Amino acid sequence: MHARPVAPPKPRPRETITIVRATSPTVSFYRYLYDAVGAPWSWVDRKKLDDQALAAIVRDPRVEVHVLYDDGVPAGYVELDLRSPPAIELSYFGLIPDFIGQGLGSYLLTWAIDEAWSREPSRFWLHTCTLDHPDALPLYERVGFVRYKEEIEMVDDAPFRAPRKSLG
């Protein structure tokens, strides 16, 4: 994405929804979010990091973890990586499975896009792959992301060995 989308962010789906930045998340809280959101999609990259390495990332002031809450309960999160200016990467994004199908994903994603573009980056980008939720890529394209690179890699550390088609 090289320009802010024309469409405004989606309105908050209901009054019980809030987004709060975890300014210095504990490693255990971050691992909870990562596992709760990523387990169904075989997220493993951050599991490979020891606590010190993970803390160095998530506590870096240029990495922002924003947590979506529904009535005080964590429902998902988005991680913005501002460490390579002037670009911003959407490092991680997703919902805890109990909250999928309620319109929260498109709300959180358009919120993240608006948040990123408020900093006027040269581009806002992400990686996705065929192991992610089947609606992930169509959602990204609907909100304005454009494919710019595709590659096939083998994933040995997922619960199963499978080809992963990465878009990013």
Q: Treating both helix axes as pointing N-terminal to C-terminal, what angle do 51-58 and 27-38 enclose, rounded to 10 degrees?
A: 90
Cα 107 to Cα 60: distance, rounded to the nearest angstrom: 26
- N- to C-terminal Cα distance for the chain? 11
The Cβ of residue 52 has, within 10 Å, a number of other Cβ atoms equal to: 8
The Cβ of residue 131 has, within 10 Å, a number of other Cβ atoms equal to: 21
pLDDT score at 168: 44
- 168 residues of the chain, pLDDT tens digit each: 999 998 888 899 999 999 999 999 999 999 999 999 999 988 889 999 999 999 999 999 999 999 999 999 999 999 999 999 999 999 999 999 999 999 999 999 999 999 999 999 999 998 887 777 777 778 788 888 888 877 777 666 555 444 444 444
What tokens appear for 9 in the block?
Answer: 């962010």
Length of the chain: 168
pLDDT score at 163: 45
- DSSP per-residue string spanning 101-166: TSSHHHHHHHHHHHHHHTT--SEEEE-EETTS-TTHHHHHHHTT-----EEEEEESSSSS-EEEEE
**Fold observed for domain 17-127:** Aminopeptidase (3.40.630)
pLDDT score at 165: 43
Adjacent-strand bridge partners of 18: 69
pTM of the model: 0.88
Cα dihedral sign, 57-121-126-72: positive
What tokens appear for 119 in the block?
Answer: 């900093």
Cα 168 to Cα 165: distance, rounded to the nearest angstrom: 10
Coil, strand or helix at 5 = coil
Torsion-angle region of residue 45: left (phi > 0), alpha (psi -120 to 50) or beta? alpha
